[in-house]
Amino acid sequence: MSRLVGIGDPGKCRVCGCSELKPCLFQLAQGQPLVACSWIDPGKTLCSNFRCIARVPLAELIRMMEAAA
C-alpha cells in the first residue's frame, strides 16, 4: 500500500489499488475474521480499509462525507 493511484479512477482505490473484483481483506478488530472492503465515497475511489483511510488528509475526508450527505 505504498503507492497512490490517481484520484479520478472510479472503481479503484486510490491508495491500495483494490477493486470490486479484488477487494482488500482486513480485520475490524484483533482476533476477528477478515472482511472485504467496500467503498466509502460516491466516486468509488477510496475503500474502507483503515490503512487506506489513514492515508487521506482529514480535510479531504470531511469534504467527501459532506458531499455524500
Instruction: Write out pLDDT tens, residues 25-67.
Output: 999 999 999 999 999 998 899 999 999 999 999 999 998 888 8
Identify the pLDDT of residue 7. 65
User: What whole-number distance in Å separates Cα of residue 38 and Cα of residue 53?
Assistant: 12
> Is 16 strand, coil or helix?
coil
Nearest 5°: CA angle at 1, between 10 and 42?
A: 25
User: What whole-number distance in Å separates Cα of residue 14 and Cα of residue 69?
Assistant: 21
pTM given for the model: 0.81
